[in-house]
Amino acid sequence: MGLLTNLRDSISRVTDGLFASDEPKRIGIYGPPNAGKTTLANRIARDWTGDAVGPESHIPHETRRARRKENVAIERNGRKVNIDIVDTPGVTTKVDYKEFLEHDIDKEDAVRRSREATEGVAEAMHWLREDVDGVIYVLDSTTDPFTQVNTMLIGIIESQNLPVLILANKTDLPESNVKQIANAFPQHETIPLSALEGENMDEVYTKIAEYFG
Amino acid sequence: MPGAKPDVDGPGDGVRIDMISGARMEGLTGMEKIRLILDGVRDGNIVILEEGLSPEEESKLIEVTMTEISPDDFTGIEIETYPKAEATSQSFIDKLMGRQTTKKLTVIGPANRIETLHKDENLISTLVSHK
C-alpha cells in the first residue's frame, strides 16, 4: 500500500506542477449549518482585504447562496497564497420551513427561506464536485461531530482528492471540545479557533498558506 | 408463529422497509440508484442499502433531495451509515486511484419519520414513526 500511495502522490505532484498557475485557488468553506462559516469567511476577508463576505446570524441557513470573495492574498512566513473564498450554505439532508418559525419569522418568509436554503445546499454540493480547489471544513467544537452529514462530506472531499483543513470553531465557548473533533477525523489535522474572537487566526493563516499555497 | 398473519388492516398501519441488495444496485446508473431511493422514501418507506452509495452518489443524492423538498409535503431525508467504511476488498485500481470501497450498510428514510437514537461503528439505532 505504501508503494501505491507513493506512486499516486508522485503522479499527483507531477500533474500539479504541470497545471500550476498564478490563478487564485478557489477554497470552499464548508460545514454544517451554524458552524461559523460566514464568521470565518468575514474574518479572513476583513483581515486581508478590509471587506466582509456576508451577514452573520444565529438563525440556521442565513447563508443561502454561495458567496465569493475574490483575490484574497494571504502572506505567511514568506509564502504568499492567493485564494478566492467561497462561503457556502450549511450542508444538510433536510430543510423544514417550520424550523424558521421558531425564530419569529412569519410563514411566508419561512417558506421563502427554506426554498432558498435548499437551492443553496444543492449549489454547494455542485461547487464541491466541480468548482473548488480545496476545502476549509468548519465544525462547531461545542457540538457532536459524529454526524452523518460530516461523515459524508469528508468522504466526498476525500474522494475528490481535495486538500482539506479542518477547523474546530467556537473555542471561546466554555463547552468547546476540540479533542472530540480531532478524534472524529484522525486522518486530518484539526486546528482550533474562535472566528468570532479572532483567537488562533495566526495558526489558521499559516495552515492555509501551507495547505493551499 | 407459522401461518400467523400480521395484525394490520392496510398499508397505513405499518412502515414498509425495502432492503435493497448490492446486486440489485450494481446494474443501475447513479441517477437510477438515487431515483430508486428517493421514490421509495417519498412514499414514506425506509430504504436499507446493503452496500451503500459512493461519495459522488451521496453528493448527488443530497443535491437531488434538496431540489425535491417542498413545504408541507417533503422535508428531506435522514440517512445513516456506519462511521467507518470497510476497506478490505479494494481492487488494485481502486488502491492505485485512492478510491475507497463503498460497501457500508446504509439506512435512508423520510426526515419527518425517522430519528437516529444512537450510532456507533457497530450499531445504528433508529426510531421510525407512523405517518
Which residues in chain B are closer than 8 Å to A93, comparing Cβ atoms?
62, 65, 76-79, 111
Q: Are A158 and B55 in contact (CB under 8 A)?
A: yes
B42: helix, coil or strand? helix
Q: Is the complex ipTM higher than 0.90?
A: no
Question: So what's the pLDDT on residue B93?
Answer: 56
Let me know if residue A16 belongs to a domain. no
DSSP B1: -
Q: Assess B90–A contact: CB distance below 8 Å, yes or no.
A: no
Comparing CA positions, the residue from A46, A41, A49, A117 lying closest to residue A85 is A41
Closest-CA distance, A97 to chain B, in angstroms, reads 7
Which residues in chain B are closer than 8 Å to A125, comparing Cβ atoms?
59-60, 62-63, 66
* Residue type present at position B130: H
Question: So what's the pLDDT on residue A50?
Answer: 84
Closest-CA distance, B23 to chain A, in angstroms, reads 23
Comparing CA positions, the residue from B109, B111, B79 lying closest to residue A97 is B111
Whether B55 and A158 lie within 8 Å, measured CB to CB: yes
Let me know if residue A66 belongs to a domain. yes
In terms of C-beta density within 10 A (0-12 exposed, 13-18 middle, 19 or more buried), how is residue B64 classed?
Answer: middle
Question: So what's the pLDDT on residue B10?
Answer: 53
Nearest residue on chain B to A112, judged by CA atoms?
A: B71
Mutation target among A30, A64, A94 for the B interface, most CBs of B within 10 A? A94
The Cα–Cα gap between A194 and B106 comes to 35
Arithmetic mean of pLDDT, A29-50: 93
The Cα–Cα gap between A87 and A40 comes to 9
Which pLDDT band holds residue A95 (cuts at 50, 70, 90)?
very high
Let me know if residue A48 belongs to a domain. yes
Which residues in chain B are closer than 8 Å to A4, comparing Cβ atoms?
95-96
Q: Are B82 and B23 in contact (CB under 8 A)?
A: no
Question: So what's the pLDDT on residue A65?
Answer: 79
The Cα–Cα gap between B50 and B103 comes to 7
Average pLDDT, chain A: 87
DSSP A124: H
Arithmetic mean of pLDDT, A19-25: 68
Question: So what's the pLDDT on residue B83?
Answer: 62
Does the reported pTM lie above 0.90? no
Q: Which residue has the higher pLDDT, A24 or A134?
A: A134
Torsion of CA A9, A14, A20, A25, to 10 degrees: -10
Let me know if residue A19 belongs to a domain. no
Let me know if residue A8 belongs to a domain. no
Q: Which residues of chain B have pLDDT under 70?
A: 1-13, 83-102, 131
For a pLDDT cut of 90, what percent of chain B falls above it? 51
Which residues in chain B are closer than 8 Å to A151, comparing Cβ atoms?
81, 83
Where in the sequence is the domain holding A66, given as residue range(s)?
24-212
For a pLDDT cut of 90, what percent of chain A falls above it? 61
Q: Is the pLDDT of residue A1 over 50?
A: no
- Closest partner CB to A125 (pick from B63, B81, B99): B63
Whether B62 and A114 lie within 8 Å, measured CB to CB: no
DSSP A196: T
Q: Are A97 and A110 in contact (CB under 8 A)?
A: yes
Count structural domains, chain A: 1
Residues 6 or more apart whose Cβ sits within 8 Å of residue A34: A58, A60, A90, A140
Q: Is the pLDDT of residue A173 over 90?
A: yes
Let me know if residue A68 belongs to a domain. yes
* Residue type present at position B27: G
Q: Tell me: the pLDDT tens digits for A183-202?
A: 999 999 999 999 999 999 99
Question: So what's the pLDDT on residue A18?
Answer: 42
Let me know if residue A1 belongs to a domain. no
The Cα–Cα gap between A169 and A55 comes to 18
**In this structure, what CATH number is given to the domain that contains residue A122?**
3.40.50.300
Let me know if residue A3 belongs to a domain. no
Q: Tell me: the pLDDT tens digits for A129-166?
A: 988 999 999 999 999 998 999 999 999 999 999 999 99
Q: Assess B59–A contact: CB distance below 8 Å, yes or no.
A: yes
Question: So what's the pLDDT on residue A48?
Answer: 93
Question: So what's the pLDDT on residue A139?
Answer: 97
Question: So what's the pLDDT on residue A19?
Answer: 45
